[in-house]
Amino acid sequence: SEINTWLLFVHYGCCFGVEVTMTAGLALYFIERFDQTTESAAALASIFGWMNLFARGLGGFISDIMNVKSGMRGRLLWQSATMVAEGCSVIAFSKMQSLAGAIGMMVLFSLFVQTTEGSTYSIIPYVCPSATGSVAGIVGAGGNVG
């Protein structure tokens, strides 16, 4: 179970670490790529963070549903699917030529980033039930490393 903690550390780095990176750079991206004002770019970039209001919970909720249907295998399948979707959507986002397309793809990308975060935390209690807090702390640190 020690290796599983570190695998989730890496997984969380690939979702929360991406969120931190995007939050820091999106406004500049919209300014440089789509010639937005600072105010407009900041407002657009904030959409990425606003997705947290529901998407993390959605990721955990769907993980719970997958657990009922298929046990831990279902949780891991959902975790893998959201992470692959996150990767595909960031590639698609980077190729958007219009502002509207970029905004739409950013929303989809953010949805997958946040659902992956929720999915990650739905797995943590099963890694080492007697040390859930320690596992959660290590995994959370992975987000900062990412």
Per-residue pLDDT tens digits of the chain, which is 146 residues long? 589 999 999 999 999 999 999 999 999 999 999 999 999 999 999 999 999 999 999 999 999 999 999 999 999 999 999 999 999 999 999 999 999 999 999 999 999 999 999 999 999 999 999 999 999 999 999 988 87
Whether pTM > 0.85 for this model: the answer is yes
- Going by the DSSP 8-state scheme, the letter that residue 131 receives in this structure is G
* DSSP states of 85-97: HHHHHHHHHHT--
Residue among 127, 59, 72, 49 at smallest CA distance from 137: 127
- The sign one gets for the Cα dihedral 17, 18, 21, 22 is negative
Question: What is the radius of gyration, based on Cα positions, of the chain?
Answer: 16
pLDDT attached to residue 137? 95
Query: In this predicted structure, what is the pLDDT of residue 15?
Result: 92
CB 80 within 8 A of CB 100: no
Pair 15, 143: CB distance under 8 Å: yes
pLDDT of residue 1: 58
Q: Are 31 and 38 in contact (CB under 8 A)?
A: yes
